[in-house]
Structure 1
Amino acid sequence: MPFLPEEAEGSTRKKVRLAYLVSHPIQYQAPLLRRIAQEQDIEMTVLFGSNFSVKGYQDDGFGVDVKWDVPLLDGYRHEFLPVLRDGHTVRFANPLNYGIWTRLRDGNADTPASTMRGFDALWVHGYITVNALHGILAAKSLGIPVLVRAESWLRDRSRNGLKLATKSIFFTMLKGLIDGVLPVGTLNAEYWSHYLGDAVPQSLMPYAVDNDYFQRRSRQAQSGRSTLLAELKLEPARPVILFASKLQRRKRCADLLEAYLRLSPAPGIAPHPYLLIVGDGEERAALERRAAESGFDSIRFCGFKNQSELPSFFDIASIFVLPSQHEPWGLVVNEVMNAGRAVIVSDDVGCAPDLITDGVEGCVFPVGDIDALTGALRRVLASPETAAAMGQRALEKIQRWGFEEDVRGLRQALAKATGKIGA
């Protein structure tokens, strides 16, 4: 049953009625939606296109069946739109729903007909699906302001001149249909500025995770540290390098493996740190073969781990590495920073400009440069104190990049677009 936020008895406070249109329940977003639902002057209803993530599904990237072990629907008002097509994935025309115009016109489904009124604003996740465009056009026809949030950046995949020209034409049209954008970070803000100029207001709504949750889980994990180390056959005195993501080519875990092998002090001698690879996917078999070829017994493949399990692996890590190519953000970096761990990322990871300063919270290296990655590993692992100090600074940084900043950015955008609430 949809969550109905309580109103203070006798309250006459103005409320902005916000619709949020998104493809499906997303594990990273659920706690943020619960936080927004606590705002007394924002009455939000989430309109989902599909429920596949709630039921469980085959994840193309991990290559395994996934059912998230965190609550996806609790604590906020939501409903699922009528379905025309649902292929249990997100594509341009999937999921495909109808009734969006009606929902925006009429407001909440549980509102009595005598008091029914439409939404005051629409927030859309993304802008290149049929559902998103349907929602934007429907809101425009109803005179409802539209806010867009996406993770796009200018370091895009290569496109020919025709595609780039088409994209510019598209954004010229989009500019007239939306009233604000919610950049998730520095690179995303640059993207919006490039395509929309100054015509569309920006309000930073950073890509964040539930910091309180991950910090709490990381503290709890400490009591089970010795058990996990024993299960993985790791000596407590040796440092641990951790990778945790999908084992896809663009994640470039192979680069990390090669850099790790170069830490060997002499031929045939394993590096002093361990390497833990958490995740699954199409590259796993090749990575396991390469690890076996090395003859080193210091590499562990741990398979897919659900969100609630990751803090235990963060806890035993000395350093976390995400060497990805074309990684629009990398929310796992937010997660591990909440455990107070140093982080190495490539310069093609979108969160780098906002979260990681080279030599401060960890290191940033040129994507695909295995020598540079090897050097970054040596820098961070120069001493236990070096890694620990970087980890402490990472924890301090991430505490200023959370849900409260998200709510502040959303309120600013709604204030500009509707004039009904204060920023």
Structure 2
Amino acid sequence: MPKPDKKYRVAFMVTHPIQYQAPLLRLINADPDIHLKAYFASDFSARHFVDPEFGRSIEWDVPLLDGYEHEVLPVLPGLRYPDDAHFDTWRPFSVGLRQRLRAGRFDALWVHGYARVPHLWAMMAARSAGVRVLLRDETSALGRSPSRSRRGAKQALFTLIDRLVDAYLTIGTMNEQHLRELGVDARKFFRVGYAVDNAWFQARAAAAGSHRTTLRAELGLPADRPIMLYAAKLIGRKAPLDLVQAFGRAMTGVAAEHRPVLLMAGDGDLRPQVEAAIATLELSDSIRLLGFQSQQRLAALYDLCDVFVLPSAHETWGLVVNEVMNAGKPVIASDRVGAARDLVQEGVNGFIYPFGDTEALAARLRDATTDRTRLAAMGVESRRIIDGWGFAQNLAGLKAALAATVGAR
């Protein structure tokens, strides 16, 4: 049973357990002021499941359901996703939330996401139960140029949503900018920036430091060559082919034995094209495709690399940027990566280049690897910046939203 002296009772509703959110939910639940209960439409992600973009079976190597109260909501007959293995706009369509909000005497419902019909249904259920609604979502206009009709439809949708929502838990600058463009009053914004478990990634990176030589040998990497890292799915919106092309340009005229090594961790439907591009550009000695990597393994790769690159065409945030900054590494990102707007300071802890400009990216890659001492100094700045962007700030933002909407207690 929850402690009776806790100030706020908060319900959290999301499609499924998410590996980045689990440690934040544990932290919130452990706070002396907040009793938290999470409601999921499905728990498929806590089991083996097939990620359609990776095209392979996934099982997370971190606990997703420990340390906080949770429940999988019942689903209307016929509105469960096949094999309960994923979700779409309608499915799974959960029911019973309103009764649970009332029975649990919740003060607020935090809804993660707005684009599914069940999200809207949950907001309306909370309203009818007299419960405040807090909305957190990734929406931004980065990398997207929707038609006038689509813009009009989204504007109309947010006119409805805004009547239901008491506060927006914003993830960053571009998220806030887009919400303002949709007509939302900025006085309803409370920053709960997209973050990762900084302590977890810092500890794993530190532990990996003593095994760098072993990992280099395991991957067949020369001891003295800089390491660039890409860690993302090999799919169109992540633009891995841009990176391969830019790397090829950057290495023009550089002897093979002096080139940096580019590690590409991830998998996806573009892998055959990426392999073909590497072969065509004769970069097989300098680019290694590592496939899907667990979070434990990624932490070791973050520690190993000298610089991280994310060339995405559309990235509402990009939590991988947070992760690698916890390992104290500089970041090169396209201007369509949401995280870059808040976490990458030009020339301080990394570089931002115009998406699609492979010549500009090539120049950044060239410049970054000519001075490894400078790279190390930029990595120190990455660690300093990310230390101020974590779960502690998330908790403070949530409490501010609760005080403003439910009232100070």
Normalization by structure 2: what TM-score? 0.95
> Which deviations, in whole Å up to 9, do the C-alpha atoms of 1:118-159 show, x marking residues without a partner?
211110001121221111001111221100000111236332
Q: 269-278 or 177-186: which moved more?
A: 269-278
Matched residues in 2 for 1:200 and 1:98: separation?
32
What is the aligned partner in structure 2 of residue 361 from structure 1?
349
2:87 aligned residue: 90
Q: Which residue of 2 aligns with 1:53?
A: 45
Is 1:79 aligned to residue 71 of structure 2? yes
1:220 to 188, 193, 207: 207
Partner of 1:250: 237
In structure 2, relative to structure 1, the CA distance for the partners of 1:74 and 1:292 (3 Å cut) is same
Matched, 1:24 2:16: yes
Counterpart of 2:32 in structure 1 is 40
User: Any idea what SS the aligned residue of 1:301 has?
Assistant: strand
* Contact in 1 for aligned 2:167/2:189 (Cα 8 Å): yes
User: Which residue of the other structure, out of 366, 369, 377, is the alignment partner of 1:381?
Assistant: 369
Give the residue type in structure 1 aligned to 2:39: L
- What is the 5 A alignment of 1:308-347? 308-347=296-335
Aligned positions of 1:99-138 closer than 5 A: 99-107=96-104, 118-138=105-125
Mapped pair 1:416 → 2:408 = no
Give the structure 2 partner of residue 196 of structure 1: 183
2:337 to 325, 349, 353: 349
Instruction: Tell me whether 1:141 sits opposite 2:106 in the alignment.
Output: no
Secondary structure of 2:202's aligned partner: helix
CA-CA distance at 1:420 after TM superposition: 4.3
Amino acid of the structure 2 residue aligned with 1:59: D
What is the deviation of 1:263? 2.5
> What SS does the corresponding residue of 1:62 show, helix, strand or coil?
coil
The one-letter code matched in structure 2 to 1:131 is P
Contact 1:264 1:271 in 2 (8 A): no
Q: What corresponds to 2:287 in structure 1? A: 299
Alpha-carbon shift at residue 267 of structure 1 (Å): 8.0
The gaps in structure 2 that reach 5 residues or longer are none
Deviations 1:143-196 (A, max 9, x none): 211000001112363322222222222211222111000110000111222223
Mapped partners of 2:362, 2:122: distance in 1: 47
Structure 1 CA distance for aligned equivalents of residues 214 and 189 of structure 2: 47
1:172 aligns to 2:159 (yes or no): yes
User: Which 5+ residue runs of structure 1 have no aligned equivalent?
Assistant: 108-117
Distance of 1:119 and 1:346 partners within structure 2: 42
SS at match of 2:24: helix
Pick which of 123-132 and 366-375 moved more: 123-132
SS of 2:39's partner is strand
- CA drift at 1:264: 2.4
Contact residue 143 and residue 313 of structure 2 kept, 8 A: no
Partner of 1:391: 379
- Worse-matched range after superposition: 230-239 or 289-298: 289-298
CA distance in 2, matches of 1:352, 1:59: 26
Report deviation, 1:14: 4.6
Question: How much has 1:199 moved relative to structure 2?
Answer: 7.0
Q: How many residues align?
A: 403
Match of 2:276 among 289, 292, 295: 289
Aligned pair in 2 of structure 1 residues 268, 224: CA closer, same or farther (>3 Å)? closer
| Alpha-carbon separation, structure 2, partners of 1:184 and 1:145 | 19
The answer as to whether partners of 1:261 and 1:271 remain within 8 angstroms in 2 is: no
- Once the two structures are TM-superposed, the CA of residue 86 in structure 1 deviates from its matched residue by 3.0
The one-letter code matched in structure 1 to 2:63 is P
The share of aligned pairs that are identical, in percent, is: 45
- Deviations 1:205-236 (CA, angstroms, capped at 9, x unpaired): 01000000000000111122111111111011
Distance 1:72 1:240 in 2: 32
Q: Secondary structure at the match of 1:83?
A: coil
Could you tell me whether the CA contact under 8 Å between 1:265 and 1:271 is conserved in 2?
no
